[in-house]
A and B are shown apart, each in its own frame.
Chain A
């Protein structure tokens, strides 16, 4: 079995069920007089429930345009965006806002919290918009913030929060309505490494616990660690990316050449982010601790 086949098999387990998002022939052309710019061209994509997809690509590649169209914030020039069977590309303008409120959560690079509101109110307002009011919304906002470690900051003005705390409030707001899809635009860009890692952990935990499909647009390569799939967008089209493999112990995605350890077993090659993971894998399967099986790839 090839590495690529192994990856596809593992991913298929995640995407096995009916995809939540089906995109066909999606294009967006911006026209200004004689000038026409194709920001996204004929994109096809399927996203499974609970899948975390990282979209990377150079500036101007169409990432934000794609995200805006997926989030129902921008009408495509052509194509379909079916989310749970609903084509939002052709959805009536009046139906889009409630669809967004109920189905999507947004996380922004600049956090985009409303400065005049407290942390709790920033979360609660999203619940209000989705039709949840009173004590229900209030309690849900509080419990979410407590769950995200902000129990002591619930009534704080957002401007008094650190960058990491602001992003956690933004995440709480994004998941408040238990959306099927979360769109995260450079969620770690304004955070230091510690808070960036914390945000990544949170996103992965929430996505897996709540089975929330998450689309992340970022330049931050660290986010590959939490992604089930990484897509490279360039000139408005997805390009083939070097195959990634998943550490069977910790679930981290790896490029085979950068794996810290690997194991050939039964005709398959398994890659690990650390020797500890390989050892754990061996112990779980009762394999002898034999260096004969160990293959240390050459560092690239």
Chain B
């Protein structure tokens, strides 16, 4: 005799008999999980934008001032001589110094935060050309917000520069990259004779990690990171900024999810208590009732999870169109985390209804229905 191998899908039938409540539960769960998924996706998008320049720089190793392994929220200063010292390290194919400075770009009444990069390669140029002397390349999202196009002038770090081109994919809600010629930024910074970072390419077949260690061993007072390590360090900045917010939202999402799912499951259980009593009287074991209650709850939470996934994908499509600086990236790890939250919601929300349903007195079926 079995209690779980049903032919008559009691759980599904009961769920579909009260479609309104089930649908409300699904939407509630979806919104709760969307809180978690959307926030994670927005921060993931921010990370992608923040590391877009480094990811597209072509460097295998990034060398910075000792103790520094990121660009944002820090400042690195290296002597010009560091470039030639790095070039002499065995296994280094090329080394190129760049300047980096955070600042504001202004056009008319509009302004925006920019990371100005002097020298190096340009990522994803979509309009115009590389910047010459007295020129700048902005991210298209920022240019559109400033309502400027190629040929227009903007003010950066106190200087008036002509927009020579536009790139895509570097604008984030906390600022975007802009690019000028090395000499231009050196002039704007007062010609201090220092550079910010050195981008290093390794010779074919030489591991970037090994070169980084070799550079640190041979060039004094520098920190050398592989490109992946440098990007990870950049991402960790976002992580540090977002951890508490994300944790808070996961907690909020979890609580809302449990509240919605719990309410739906409990009200459904109360409404179906007599059915459970009848099934128990007919010989269904307690675990059979548990399977029905959990099955219904899992169906609601599962459908809510799928709806949340669909909604976050919709957000990932729509948000960048509405606000180009906002990137939304749905990562499989975040989806897995949301699935775990959904699982936890199912378990937590199911506890009270399960206890209620399992302890229904089968003899109660002889009492008159109220």
Contact = CB atoms under 8 A, between A and B. Distances in A.
B350 to A, nearest CB: 19
Contacts of A138: 7
Interface residues of B, number: 31
A110 B369 contact: yes
Given A68-B363, A125-B8, A185-B366, A131 B1 contact: yes
Interface string A112-146: 10111100010011101111011001100000000
Contacts of B80: none
A16 interface: no
B284 A97 contact: yes
Interface string B268-307: 0000001100111111110010000000000000000000
Contact of A101 (B1, B16, B278): B1
Contact of A128 (B8, B14, B17, B365): B8
A300 to B, nearest CB: 33
A100 B283 CA distance: 5
Which has the most chain A C-beta neighbours within 10 Å: B1, B5, B280, B367?
Answer: B1
Given A108-B365, A110-B369, A97 B285 contact: yes
Nearest to B275: A114
A232 B368 CA distance: 22
Given A64-B366, A68-B366, A129 B284 contact: yes
Interface in B1-34: 1-3, 5-8, 10, 13-14, 16-17
Contacts of B10: 114, 116-117, 125
A278 to B, nearest CB: 41
B366 A129 contact: no
Contacts of A106: 281-282, 365
B324 interface: no
A129 B7 contact: no
B1 A112 contact: no
Nearest to A120: B8
Interface in A58-77: 64, 67-68, 71, 73-74
A94 B3 CA distance: 12
A116 B283 contact: no
B203 to A, nearest CB: 70
A102 interface: yes
B361 to A, nearest CB: 8
Q: Interface residues of A toward B: which range?
A: 35 or more
A73 B284 contact: no
B297 to A, nearest CB: 16
Given A98-B1, A110-B369, A114-B10, A130 B362 contact: no
A122 B280 CA distance: 14
B368 A109 contact: yes
Nearest to A68: B363
Nearest to A64: B366
Contacts of A133: 2, 5, 7
A173 to B, nearest CB: 8
Contacts of B362: 73
A128 B283 CA distance: 10
Contacts of A94: 285
A102 B368 contact: no
B279 A129 contact: yes
Given A73-B281, A106-B282, A138-B7, A129 B17 contact: no
B274 A128 contact: no
A296 B2 CA distance: 59
B283 A98 contact: yes
Given A74-B363, A112-B278, A130 B14 contact: no
B7 A134 contact: yes
A137 B7 CA distance: 8
Which has the most chain A C-beta neighbours within 10 Å: B281, B283, B361, B369?
Answer: B283
Which has the most chain A C-beta neighbours within 10 Å: B10, B13, B278, B367?
Answer: B278
Contact of B3 (A104, A117, A129): A129
A128 B13 contact: no
A129 B291 CA distance: 13
Nearest to A73: B363
Contacts of A109: 368
Which has the most chain A C-beta neighbours within 10 Å: B3, B6, B280, B281?
Answer: B281
A102 B283 CA distance: 8
Given A100-B281, A114-B275, A128 B368 contact: no
Nearest to B11: A116
B192 to A, nearest CB: 78
Contact of B283 (A64, A74, A101, A110): A101
Given A100-B281, A130-B283, A133-B2, 18 more contacts: A67-B366, A71-B363, A99-B283, A101-B1, A106-B281, A112-B278, A112-B365, A114-B278, A114-B279, A115-B17, A116-B17, A116-B275, A121-B13, A128-B5, A128-B7, A129-B1, A131-B1, A173-B282
9 contacts: A97-B280, A97-B285, A114-B13, A116-B14, A121-B13, A124-B8, A125-B282, A128-B5, A138-B7
Q: Nearest 6 pairs between A and B by C-beta?
A: A101-B283, A116-B17, A131-B1, A73-B363, A68-B363, A116-B13
